[in-house]
């Protein structure tokens, strides 16, 4: 058994020697790595317009923090209560025509926030257009409250850094929705009613909306400053705020103790559709696609060239156990391509990111572990695709045919995934069941349930988790290798 294993090491050595002694394959692999870097540099110096700063939340992620706030200062502890009507939303139809419409995540409620600076900490309880009562804080956290019909009574209690949200159907019997600790709130905060109305998803895009809600029986207890409630648009000019529809603006009107508040925008994490100018690691690594074509060609040639010159006879005469020859080729090819891809991506990601930021592009921030996953994942994608190409080459035994087959098998679905205007159903299907699913390894954006948006592969959101997507490609490669091994065994060489 040990002698057997030694024999396999010899085969690995032989296949490595084969690979490194064909200059075209070595330079092609190096070129693939360089392509990854080159595209990253081009993407980096492509530059942006250097617009206003992207607001950033307490955890460093980009946020949308633009909404209509009606506020008074609160020093120390206190609470605010109101009966809130469900927000009524309007969407633009045509150029200047607003029509009533559904915006499920329109928000009307009460908020306590450190200040009007975008990205400052807050906690809020609200009635939504389609998701009932919610308590939210820190931009990304969202807790569901009791279901039921509007109008609802809402209350927010502040005690130090702790904020408790309560909801009631009658103003007497209260249900606690949640208590959150809001770090960095400070002693004096702003608080009061607010209305937000995020863009609504329409087909393959989003369009701005505006919502209005009525607040009754508004009263504040505790350390609130005296004076009138003051209406103000938070974050009126922000890259994550698409503004109001034409001829509408945020407003508050008081009439007999009833406040009618109109607002647009959102208090939420920024997603791709709300920050379309933001860059992602996936865009920095566009060169991976060009590299893919290169490694696919090398992968097929690694075996089909042996058939073209009947070198395969000598290979199999030297190693009659054919499955092992295929395994040795696959291991050598995978390792070499992985190494090249790893170097390319490991250089491209920091260089491209730095260049992009230097030229004024906002790049969606990524945890170091995620960055490592993307770099290693892209390398594994290239390596696994090359092994798939090798297997198809072993089945078809013809270079051009195998290259076409693999390019059609990976590139075509990738096109379905990566071009805009592709219906989400089609691109999500392609990103689930075709080898192009592997591009999920480069996803860095996070979709949020509480943010209605266009979550398609083109926008940087894949239907499968990163490693599962790579697993789909690996599955294709393993199946193709199995078929290749059976045929190699059965067919005359």
486 forms part of the interface with other proteins (CB under 8 A): no
493 forms part of the interface with other proteins (CB under 8 A): yes
Specify whether the CB–CB gap between 265 and 108 falls below 8 A: no
Phi, psi of 182 (to 5 degrees): -105, 105
Half-sphere exposure of 325 (CA within 13 A, CB side): 22
Q: 183 vs 313, which CB is nearer to other proteins?
A: 313
45 forms part of the interface with other proteins (CB under 8 A): no
Residue for token pair 């995020």: 198
Size of the site for other proteins (CB under 8 A): 31
3 forms part of the interface with other proteins (CB under 8 A): yes
316 forms part of the interface with other proteins (CB under 8 A): yes
Q: Taking CA 114 as the corner, what is the angle to CA 108 and CA 118, rounded to the nearest 5 degrees?
A: 75
492 forms part of the interface with other proteins (CB under 8 A): yes
400 forms part of the interface with other proteins (CB under 8 A): no
Scan residues 321-380 and list those touching other proteins (CB under 8 A): 321
Q: 7 vs 276, which CB is nearer to other proteins?
A: 7
Residue selected from 2, 5, 23, 449 as contacting other proteins according to rule CB under 8 A? 23
H or E stretch including 195? strand 188-196
17 forms part of the interface with other proteins (CB under 8 A): yes
Specify whether the CB–CB gap between 123 and 135 falls below 8 A: yes
233/463 Cα distance (integer angstroms): 36
Scan residues 120-139 and list those touching other proteins (CB under 8 A): none
Q: 321 vs 357, which CB is nearer to other proteins?
A: 321
318 forms part of the interface with other proteins (CB under 8 A): yes
Identify the CA nearest to 108 among candidates 92, 129, 78, 131: 129
What's the N-to-C CA distance of the chain in angstroms? Answer: 27
Residue selected from 102, 181, 219, 313 as contacting other proteins according to rule CB under 8 A? 313
Under DSSP, the state recorded for 140 is T
Minimal distance, residue 469 CB to other proteins, in Å = 35
Specify whether the CB–CB gap between 435 and 469 falls below 8 A: no
317 forms part of the interface with other proteins (CB under 8 A): yes
Those residues whose C-beta lies under 8 Å from the C-beta of residue 148, and which sit 6 or more positions away, are: 132, 133, 169
13 forms part of the interface with other proteins (CB under 8 A): yes
Tokens of 125: 């309880």
Scan residues 268-307 and list those touching other proteins (CB under 8 A): 305-306
The interface region with other proteins, picked from 10-18, 64-72, 420-428, 456-464 by CB under 8 A, is 10-18
11 forms part of the interface with other proteins (CB under 8 A): yes
123/143 Cα distance (integer angstroms): 11
Residue selected from 41, 98, 249, 319 as contacting other proteins according to rule CB under 8 A? 319
320 forms part of the interface with other proteins (CB under 8 A): yes
Q: 305 vs 404, which CB is nearer to other proteins?
A: 305
The interface region with other proteins, picked from 16-24, 153-161, 273-281, 340-348 by CB under 8 A, is 16-24
Residue for token pair 């070595």: 26
210/463 Cα distance (integer angstroms): 30
Give the three-state DSSP class for 88: strand
370/443 Cα distance (integer angstroms): 9
Minimal distance, residue 456 CB to other proteins, in Å = 43
460/364 Cα distance (integer angstroms): 11
**Residues at the site binding other proteins, with contacts judged by CB under 8 A:** 3, 6-7, 10-11, 13-15, 17-18, 21-25, 305-306, 309-311, 313-321, 492-493
């Amino acid at each position: 058994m040990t002698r057997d294993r030694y024999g396999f090491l010899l085969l690995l050595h032989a296949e490595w020697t084969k690979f490194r002694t064909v200059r075209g394959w070595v330079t092609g692999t190096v070129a693939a790595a360089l392509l990854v870097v080159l595209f990253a540099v081009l993407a980096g110096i492509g530059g942006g317009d250097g617009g206003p700063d992207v607001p950033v939340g307490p955890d460093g992620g980009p946020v949308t923090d633009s909404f209509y706030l009606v506020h008074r200062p609160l020093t120390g502890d206190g609470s605010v209560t109101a009966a809130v009507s469900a927000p009524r939303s309007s969407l633009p139809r045509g150029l200047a025509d607003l029509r009533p419409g559904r915006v499920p995540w329109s928000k009307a409620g009460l908020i306590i926030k450190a200040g009007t600076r975008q990205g400052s900490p807050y906690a809020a309880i609200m009635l939504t257009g389609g998701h009932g009562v919610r308590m939210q804080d820190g931009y990304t956290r969202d807790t569901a409250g009791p279901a039921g019909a509007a109008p609802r009574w809402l209350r927010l209690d502040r005690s130090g850094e702790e904020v408790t949200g309560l909801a009631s159907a009658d103003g007497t019997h209260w249900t606690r929705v949640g208590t959150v600790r809001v770090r960095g709130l400070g002693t004096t905060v702003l608080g009061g009613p607010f209305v937000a109305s995020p863009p609504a998803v329409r087909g393959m895009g989003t369009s701005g909306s505006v919502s209005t809600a009525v607040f009754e029986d508004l009263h504040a207890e505790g350390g609130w400053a005296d004076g009138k409630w003051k209406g103000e648009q938070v974050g009126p000019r922000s890259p994550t705020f698409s503004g109001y529809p034409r001829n509408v603006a945020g407003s508050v009107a008081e009439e007999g103790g009833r406040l009618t508040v109109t607002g647009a925008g959102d208090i939420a994490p920024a997603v791709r559709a709300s920050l379309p100018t933001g860059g992602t690691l996936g865009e920095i690594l566009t060169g991976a696609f060009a590299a893919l074509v290169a490694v696919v060609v090398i992968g097929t040639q690694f075996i089909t060239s042996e058939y073209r010159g009947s070198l395969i006879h000598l290979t199999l005469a030297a190693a009659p156990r054919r499955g092992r020859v295929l395994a040795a080729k696959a291991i050598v090819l995978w390792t070499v391509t992985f190494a090249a891809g790893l170097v390319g991506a490991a250089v491209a990601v920091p260089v491209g990111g730095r260049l992009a930021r230097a030229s004024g592009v906002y790049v969606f921030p990524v945890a170091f572990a995620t960055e490592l996953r993307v770099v290693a994942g892209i390398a594994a994608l290239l390596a696994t695709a090359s092994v798939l190409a090798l297997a198809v080459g072993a089945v078809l035994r013809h270079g051009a045919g195998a290259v076409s087959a693999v390019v059609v098998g990976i590139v075509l679905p990738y096109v379905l995934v990566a071009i805009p205007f592709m219906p989400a159903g089609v691109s999500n299907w392609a990103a689930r069941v075709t080898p192009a699913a592997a591009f999920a390894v480069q996803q860095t954006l996070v979709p949020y349930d509480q943010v209605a948006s266009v979550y398609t592969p083109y926008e940087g959101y894949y239907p499968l988790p990163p490693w599962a997507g790579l697993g789909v490609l690996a599955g294709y490669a393993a199946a193709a290798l199995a078929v290749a091994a059976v045929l190699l065994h059965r067919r005359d060489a």
